[in-house]
Amino acid sequence: MVTVHRASPLWLLLTRGSAALGGRPAAVARAVGGGAASLLAYAAVIWAMRLGAMGPVSALRETSVVFAALLGRAFLAERLTAGCIAACTVVAAGAAMIGHG
């Protein structure tokens, strides 16, 4: 019989430490930090949607894709393909049009 863990990732991290993710402690710390930043960013978007019009907030949220691509290039040495650059350009142009409209 297979046992299924139903514990949250935070509980696993607290009880098993970095062994829960099977990685080096530095890598685990980066992963947890990235997850926390993602959670805070999502909370900021929800908060902003309560305060302003949903269209511009949604457009601004979509620009996170552009920032993710740039951060991936800067810190993770990811390649920016022509398709990625084109998609980022379209997203940035759309956000600019909504901002000026």
Q: Does 50 score more than 90 pLDDT?
A: no
Q: Does 96 score more than 50 pLDDT?
A: yes
Q: What is the pLDDT of residue 3?
A: 46
Pick left, alpha or beta for residue 17 (phi over 0 → left; psi -120 to 50 → alpha; otherwise beta).
Answer: left
Q: pLDDT category, 86, cuts 50, 70, 90?
A: very high
Q: What is the pLDDT of residue 2?
A: 41
Q: pLDDT category, 43, cuts 50, 70, 90?
A: confident
% residues pLDDT > 70 (the chain): 87
Q: Are 60 and 95 in contact (CB under 8 A)?
A: yes
Per-residue pLDDT, averaged over 52-72, amounts to 80
pTM: 0.50
Q: What angle do CA 13, 16, 21 make, to 5 degrees?
A: 60
Please give the residue that has the higher pLDDT: either 100 or 5: 100
Average pLDDT, the chain: 78
